[in-house]
Structure formats: structure tokens, C-alpha cells
Amino acid sequence: MDYKNLIHKIKSVRDYKETKVSEDILYEIKHSYEKGKKLVHDIEIEVFIKNKEEIYEQLEGIAGYKENMIEAPHYIVILSEEKKDYIENTGYIGQGLMLKALELGVNTCWITFNDGNEIMEKLMMDSEKKLTALIALGYDDNKTKAVNETNLDYNPSKANVVIAEDNVSTRIDVSQLVFIKEWGKCADTDDLSSRGLLDAFNYARLAPSTLNRQPWRFILDDGVVVLAIRKDDNVNKYENKIDTGIVMLYFESIIDSTLFDTSWTMGNIGKDYNIPDEYMVVGYCNI
């Protein structure tokens, strides 16, 4: 997969043509995770692709920002074994499926929810596994709609979604995203470039996140990159963990394609970087 090109191009699509995606393409998207990257290797997941008739009306008023369900011809549903870091693993795998879909010309958008068990009941899905992702899938109807507020008081009801002229949601600058050895010591982009890491951080900041809140910060220490995520009051634990898995995929895939293979270790590295209370360390990887 050409990660750089796809990460650069992908955006959340909220209005879809009615046109259905062909069975062949749906099959390719669904099965791509089997060969694709995983964050945690021993977690069993199941990927389903469902049609609008099986999902949309059932979840109207239940899933989506402020319960505004996104209408699409298809949806990806992921069920996962409930094990340590299983939601982050779904974020990582789900975003991989979304990049694969875009490679095949198909657009997507994450759809949030509060209670996966309620969604399973509404969809009459019965499994020991947990429902961990709901993703709209189809062809972009090209109506510009991007959430473009980093203001966390922002109320993203569908009617209020901020229309961005170029339909590209904004992102913070790399210098605000990466600290050197200690919280608050902002990285210099020339320094990151000479270490060969500028690309990976530049692509990581393009990661989609709940409400486009961009909760990720990195600390670059000797031979290690530490990831901290902000805990925002208006974002639930599920959303926080999906956001974590997505940025891990973005950073890792660019390091893998530009430098060498690396992987994330989940959890705290056990070193004090003066991280403020609203952030928590969620993982680190060797670079």
C-alpha cells in the first residue's frame, strides 16, 4: 500500500452517492485486514460489510456525533475479542481498511457510538465478541462537509458541521506535536528532518480523530518515540482508544516505509517527562 499517498488523500466523507460498491471491491476491502498490519497480534477480530438496509434505519438516533447517523450504501462493522488494548487494535485495523478502501476508490467515515452492546442488539448480531467499529462506506457525493474546529465546545450535530471550502480539515503544526526529551520542549523541524523523522510526524498529524481534536503528542527521547494522548471530557474512552490506534498506524507505517520496521509497545514507558495531568502515555516505539 502506498501509505504516504493514501494518508495524504483520505478524508471523512459524510454524504454518499446511492451507487453501490461492487461485490469484488467489497470483498477485497473486507479481506485486506487478514494480510494487513495489526497492532496486537493475538486478538481475533471479524470484519463484516453490511448494506444500508441492514444498518441505517436501525441505528438512526443511536450512533454518530450527537446521534446523527451517517447514511451510506454500505458499512464496515468490526467485532473483536475483548482483550488488553483491543479497542486500540480496532482503531489501527479499521483505519487500515479505510486506506485500502480509498486505494480502491471508495470513501469512508468513522461513526462513533456510546454502547457497542446496544448497537449489536439493534443489528441483531449475536457474538461473544464486542462491537468495536462502525464505518460508513461508499462513493463521495462531493458535497463539502468537513469538521474543522479544534474548539472542543464545538457541537458537531450534522446540521452544524462547519463547511470548509476546500473540504480539508485542519491540523496542528509538527512543532506543536513533538517534544524533545521533555514535555514543552518543542521540536525543531530541521532537527527532525536530519534525524529522518520529519516525514513520519508530518503524516502522523494527518490522522483522523474524534471531533478533529488531534489529541496526540510525541516525545522524542534517545532511540524511542513516546506517544501521549489527551483525555478530553467530551470524548469517551472508546473514542480515545480508537484515536490512539489510528495515529499509531500512521506513524508506524511511515517509519516502516521510509526507515525500518518498527512496532509499538503498549503502555507507559515508566519515565517522567513532566507530562501534564490531562495527557497520558499510551505507548512507545524504538526508532
Ligand X SMILES: Cc1cc2nc3c(=O)[nH]c(=O)nc-3n(C[C@H](O)[C@H](O)[C@H](O)COP(=O)(O)O)c2cc1C
Task: Using CB positions, name the residue nearest to ligand X.
Answer: 208
Contact pick of 102, 106, 111, 248 for ligand X (by CB under 6 A)? 111
- Helix or strand (DSSP H, E) at 122: helix 116-122
Find, among 239, 217, 237, 238, the residue nearest to 228 by Cα.
Answer: 217
Is there binding between residue 282 and ligand X (CB under 6 A)? no
Q: Does 80 bind ligand X (CB under 6 A)?
A: no
Rounded Cα–Cα distance for residues 80 and 155 (Å): 30
Closest CA to 59 of 131, 2, 107, 1: 131
Residue 252 within binding range of ligand X, rule CB under 6 A: no
For Cα atoms 173, 266, 76, give the angle at the middle one, nearest 5 degrees. 75
Which of these, 157, 70, 80, lies nearest to 116 by C-alpha position? Answer: 80
| Residues 285, 265 contacting (CB under 8 angstroms) | yes
Does position 242 bind ligand X by CB under 6 A? yes
Decide if residue 205 touches ligand X (CB under 6 A): no
Interactions with ligand X, residue window 142-201 (CB under 6 A): 146-147, 169
In the complex, least distance from residue 134 CB atom to ligand X, rounded to whole angstroms: 8
Task: Based on the shown chain and the rule CB under 6 A, indicate whether residue 116 belongs to the binding site for ligand X.
Answer: no
Sign of the torsion formed by the C-alpha atoms of 245, 249, 251 and 252: positive
- Does 43 help bind ligand X (rule: CB under 6 A)? no
Smallest distance, ligand X to C-beta of residue 238, A:
7
- The piece of 39-47, 210-218, 261-269, 279-287 that touches ligand X (CB under 6 A) is 210-218
| 107: contact with ligand X by CB under 6 A | no
* Per rule CB under 6 A, count of chain residues that contact ligand X: 22
DSSP letter (8 states) at residue 140: B
Does 65 bind ligand X (CB under 6 A)? Our answer is yes
**Options 43-51, 193-201, 235-243, 253-261: segment touching ligand X (CB under 6 A):** 235-243
Q: Does 71 bind ligand X (CB under 6 A)?
A: no
CB 47 within 8 A of CB 27: no
149-181 burial: b if 16+ Cβ within 10 Å, else e: beeeebebeeeebeebeebebebeebeebbbee
Query: Stretches 80-88, 183-191, 207-215, 251-259: which one binds ligand X (CB under 6 A)?
Result: 207-215
Give the interface with ligand X as residue ranges (CB under 6 A). Answer: 11-12, 14, 64-65, 70, 109-112, 146-147, 169, 208-212, 239, 242-243, 246
